[in-house]
Amino acid sequence: MDFLCPLTIILLLFIPLISIFFSIFFSISSSSTKSSTTLRPYPIIGNLPQFLLNRHHFLSWMTSLLSSSHNLTITFHRPGNVRGLITANPSNLHHYLKSHSPNFPKGPRVIHHLQDFLGRGIFNVDGPLWLSQRKTASFEFNTRSLRNFIVLIVHHELHSRLLPLLLNSSRSSSPIDLQDLLERFAFDNVCKLAFNHDPVSLSDAPESRFARAFKIAAELSAGRFRYAVPKFWVITRLFNIGSERKLKESIAVVHDFATQIIKSKKGKPNASAVAAADDDLLSRFLANEENNSDEFLRDIVISFILAGRETTSSALSWFFWLISLNTTVEDKIIQEISSIRARKADDKEVFEFEELREMHYLHASITEAMRLYPPVPVNSAMCMNDDVLPDGSVIKKGMFMAYNSYAMGRMESIWGKDCLEFKPERWLDNNGVFRPESPYKYPVFHAGPRMCLGKEMAYIQMKSIVACVLERFRVDVVEKEKIPEHTLSLTLRMKHGLMVRIRDRY
């Protein structure tokens, strides 16, 4: 949203003229009668002026627009006659994510933007290719061996790296960036899960070349969606200039690294038998000989790393900021952890899977944090054929369809008058047991056929981190009264990190 180009500036200079033209000759299309009155488009440039004026607080702006719409749906016009619907209506989500999901694939726009980085990985394809990858991944994510592998990875990273780093920090008065630590933790974990490689990001050593290149590639690939003029990035890529040149260099590093690991695994004697015995995702896909070309394996591994690199770290960064403002919630979490610790059968520092499952209040607190600050705030698809949504909005073939999770978490009509409050109790029944909501009301992990496969893995990681950290330390946010600025990338990251001071709890 911060990308301005000469063409954009020229267009802006002509806004007054276009406005006159608009007032005389232009009338708003009625093709989406129930959702087209919120944002008034201008000829040629669509809603570009409003977009530019509100780009620095895009999510709060969209939340305001959606909440003022009688059906929680608005029409959006981008330059070049690119139109779409953005909704926060749960009935619309059920329609396009489940009951009519074949009519709303990711589509060429999303796929094209991420093609260079993600290739044909599971998060960037539609149709039979997506289905085959989904089936393989779904089977693997539901195996007990993979769950145990995830628990072992998290335990190792906590015990040998994160807790010692926080202990050292507690002996100093200097603040640390907790978001950065959480991102490094997540990156190490997902790399081990994806291809059993440890980049050792969570350490005092400089960031590895692969980790740095991956971060840049992810950020710049997401940046393609934020150009004020659609597809301007295609021109800069053609001439290999600006951010596209840096993106190309970073992708080359990531692809080369992943390809070398794949070739190394394939080059081992009895590679298929060895892969079948290993627990990482790459080995599991290698064991499936139907489609295990180097390029295919590289793309799917990179997709899973992308999915796990920032989502949990984003969720936990906002969680730690929220509990710094709500000490009563923190006290209840500590009480729950202490109760389970007292019943723990061994003296291990970290908690086992079954013990984490007993932490209902912690589960509710993390879930509530993601309601207000979802890791992926906006998700979109493309309409294949003309359709009518349950709220009466008409969507035409070729239009994009998006839902706004960030706005949905702030809708009084969905969550009640206390929708802006951080209130974990809304997720608990009368016995204090966690009670999930419909994924179409709470689409943080997506919904329908594309429901997130890593949901359980994410909760294991997040609950393990919070339980071990809060049991030993107090996390004092340096500027807790100030709402952190965010960057709108593929995930909802804090723009300046989360500066905290770590103190011993006892």
* C-beta separation of 272 from 255 below 8 A: no
pLDDT at residue 45 greater than cutoff 90:
no
| Assigned token pair, 22 | 């608009």
Regarding predicted confidence, which is higher, 208 or 270?
208
Is 452 marked within a binding site? yes
173 or 356: whose pLDDT is higher? 356
pLDDT digits (tens, 9 = 90+) for 419-435: 999 999 999 999 999 99
Contact 463, 312 (CB under 8 A): no
Alpha-carbon torsion (151, 155, 158, 160), positive or negative: negative
Domain spanning 119-374+409-504 has what CATH number? 1.10.630.10
d(CA 364, CA 398): 39
Spatial distance between the Cα atoms of 344 and 338, rounded to a whole number of angstroms: 10
Does residue 34 register a pLDDT over 80?
no
Residue 20 has pLDDT above 60, yes or no: no
- How would you class 268 by CB atoms within 10 Å of its CB: exposed for 0-12, middle for 13-18, buried for 19 or more? exposed
- Select the highest-mean-pLDDT range: 232-236, 326-330, 491-495: 326-330
**What is the Cα–Cα distance from 470 to 476, expressed in whole angstroms?**
11
Q: E strands of 245-360, at which residues?
A: none
Q: What are phi and psi of 400, to 5 degrees?
A: -90, 150
Region of poorest pLDDT, from 102-116, 160-174, 219-233: 219-233
Where in the chain are the domains?
Answer: 1-109+376-408, 119-374+409-504
Give the DSSP letter of residue 83: E
Q: Write down the pLDDT at residue 38.
A: 55
Q: Are 169 and 160 in contact (CB under 8 A)?
A: no
Query: What would the mean pLDDT of 347-367 be, rounded to a whole number?
Result: 91
| Most confident stretch, 72-81, 178-187, 196-205 | 178-187
Out of 118-127, 262-271, 289-298, 485-494, least confident range: 262-271
The pLDDT of residue 51 is 84
pLDDT at 106: 92
pLDDT, residue 177, reads: 96
Chain centroid to Cα 268, Å, comes to 35
CATH of the structural domain 1-109+376-408, one choice from 3.40.50.850, 3.40.50.920, 3.10.129.10, 3.30.43.20: 3.30.43.20
Whether 2 has a pLDDT exceeding 50, the answer reads: no
For 132-168, the pLDDT digits (tens) are 888 888 877 777 777 788 888 899 999 999 999 999 9
Instruction: Give the DSSP letter of residue 434.
Output: B
Q: Which residues pair with 492 in a beta bridge?
A: 488
**243 alpha carbon, distance to own chain's centre:** 22
pLDDT at 293: 84
Nearest to 290 by CA among 139, 106, 145, 143: 139
- What share of the chain in percent tops pLDDT 70? 89
Lowest mean pLDDT among 20-24, 332-336, 421-425: 20-24
The radius of gyration of the chain's CA atoms, rounded to the nearest angstrom, is 23
10: pLDDT strictly greater than 60: no
Looking at residue 47, its pLDDT comes to: 87
| Burial group, residue 347, by CB count within 10 angstroms (0-12, 13-18, 19+) | exposed
- The pTM of the full predicted model, rounded to 2 decimals, is 0.88
Q: How many helices (H) and strands (E) does the chain have?
A: 22, 11
What would the two tokens of residue 164 be?
Answer: 């010692």
107: CB partners within 8 A, 6+ apart: 126, 381, 382, 384, 400
Nearest Cα neighbor of 421 from 380, 490, 368, 370 is 368
